[in-house]
Amino acid sequence: MLQDRYGLDLSTASDAARDAYVEGCELALTLYPGAVAAFDRANAADPDFALAHAGRARALQLTSDIGAARAAIAAAQALAASTTERERSHVAMLGLLIEGKPVEALEAVRAHVGAWPRDALVVSTAANQNGLIGTSSKATRVQDLLDFLGALAPHYGDDWWFNGHYAMALSELGHLKTALPLIERSIADNPRNAMAAHALAHFHYENADADAAIAFLRGWLPQYPRDGGMYGHLHWHLAVFYLQQGAVEDGFRLFTHAFAAKDYRGPPMVKLLDAASYLWRSELAGHKRDQGRWQQVITYARQGFGRPGMPFVDWHVALTGAVDGEGAGIWMRALDGLVDDGRYPAGETVPCVARAFAAFERGDYTQAITEIETMFAERDRLCGSRAQIDLVEFTLLKAYLEAGRLDDAQRLLSTRRPGPSTIPVAGLEAVRPH
């Protein structure tokens, strides 16, 4: 029986279908363009190959083409009955994911990898900060992700794909010395691996080494296709490092041409997250507001994210609502309704931070401080990486400074995790030793 790269049996007798399927999986796992086309070639070689249809569904979902993803997973489900137990479970799990049932999908992932731990395409749905564990809004989600990958590590050995994800999870919890060799081996074994490049960007952020990050990203990104799934986000990382060095205009050039570009080709939610957060960060760092850029992001948020429901997206929508004001009340009432009904996974954390952003925007720093302090201990429930959630901490720090609460600002700085010491917040000289 033919097998995939991880030694798992495949229900196809076609070498061409197998080869195209393996190629599609690798492209999907590295977030390189071309995965859909590769799965199409697998389907052409063997129309009854259920996993090729399922892989195509996952690749389409990663590009946010949910309608086409649903059609592809339906084709896989229609063929799965005549396949193996592993393939039926694989297709069923992806079906739950694409149907928008994250809780059930994660349960299915855990059950599936218990039996087939080397089924990387299934593992990948929960293997990073934007996956099913990372967006669960559980207060323990960061440790849960590391535990999930740590249990799988013996099954993967020195695999380039797994090393990139495992290193990222290690880095997020401060295990930098363990993470770096895994990242370096992942990139050496597959230089095209965008997820390992992403892990290295986060490593340098946590290690407070903007120079190394800029040098790496400027060297790696020119070879990465513009329609790669991480193209915009990796340019956002580069912009954040520029901001740390005071080069905000270099960051704004990337805003215009990469992570907030009109021809942006990555996931729409990532464009929103990156664009809104960079504008807010730049202002915390003391740079003048660009209302035109904000209006561009506000319009984008209104058109694509008019209803709350995904915490990671919602707290970034809240940034646009704070700046815009108009219509924000309707959105907040819908958010509060979800919380009141017990249908919001992040509980009160997002409403608190949304009110904090709005209060900060109107200069009510006392309320902004109160709202953030209320949710601060559970800020991991907002979802996102440490680097992304730092935006909330930076807002609290700036509010302390604006309110003249310098002792509180100093306390916040002294209790901050030690790695990422570069904080682009204007006015810190008032509380840092000279």
pLDDT digits (tens, 9 = 90+) for 344-362: 999 999 999 999 999 999 9
pLDDT over 90 (residue 327) = no
Domain ranges, ordered by start, for the chain: 15-122, 126-208
So what's the pLDDT on residue 434? 45
Given a cut of 60, whether residue 339 has pLDDT beyond it is yes
**Euclidean distance between the first and the last CA atom of the chain, given in angstroms as a whole number:** 69
Q: What percent of the chain has pLDDT over 90?
A: 95
Q: 13-63 pLDDT, tens per residue?
A: 999 999 999 999 999 999 999 999 999 999 999 999 999 999 999 999 999
Dist CA 145 CA 165 (whole Å): 10
When the pLDDT of each residue in the chain is averaged and rounded to a whole number, the result is 96
Q: How far apart are CA 383 and CA 353, in angstroms?
A: 13
The DSSP call for residue 287 is P
Q: What is the pLDDT of residue 261?
A: 97
Averaged over 87-113, what is the pLDDT? 98
Q: Look-up: residue for tokens 């990337």?
A: 254
pTM of the entire predicted model:
0.96
The answer to whether residues 284 and 426 touch, using CB atoms and an 8 Å cutoff, is yes
Identify the pLDDT of residue 187.
Answer: 97
Quick one: average pLDDT of 162-181?
97
- Phi and psi torsions of 3, nearest 5°: -130, 160
Percent of the chain with pLDDT over 70: 100
pLDDT above 90: residue 326: no
Confidence class for position 135, pLDDT limits 50, 70, 90: very high
H helices, E strands: number in the chain:
22, 0
d(CA 387, CA 384): 8
Question: Which of 7-11, 276-280, 340-344, 420-424 is the least confident region?
Answer: 420-424
Which residues is 289 bridged to in the sheet? Answer: none
Angle between helices 268-284 and 311-324 (to 10 degrees): 50
Answer yes or no: CATH 3.20.20.70 is held by domain 15-122: no
Q: In sequence order, what are the residues at sequence separation of 6 or more whose Cβ sits closer than 8 angstroms to the Cβ of residue 51? A: 10, 11, 12, 21, 76, 83, 87, 90, 91
Under the banding of pLDDT at 50, 70 and 90, the label for residue 433 is: low
Q: What is the pLDDT of residues 59-76, one digit of tens each?
A: 999 999 999 999 999 999
Neighbour count for residue 220 (Cβ, 10 Å): 19
Sign of CA dihedral 366, 415, 234, 124: negative
The yes-or-no verdict on residue 196 having pLDDT over 80 is yes
Please write the tens of the pLDDT for every residue from 252-311. Answer: 999 999 999 999 999 999 999 999 999 999 999 999 999 999 999 999 999 999 899 999
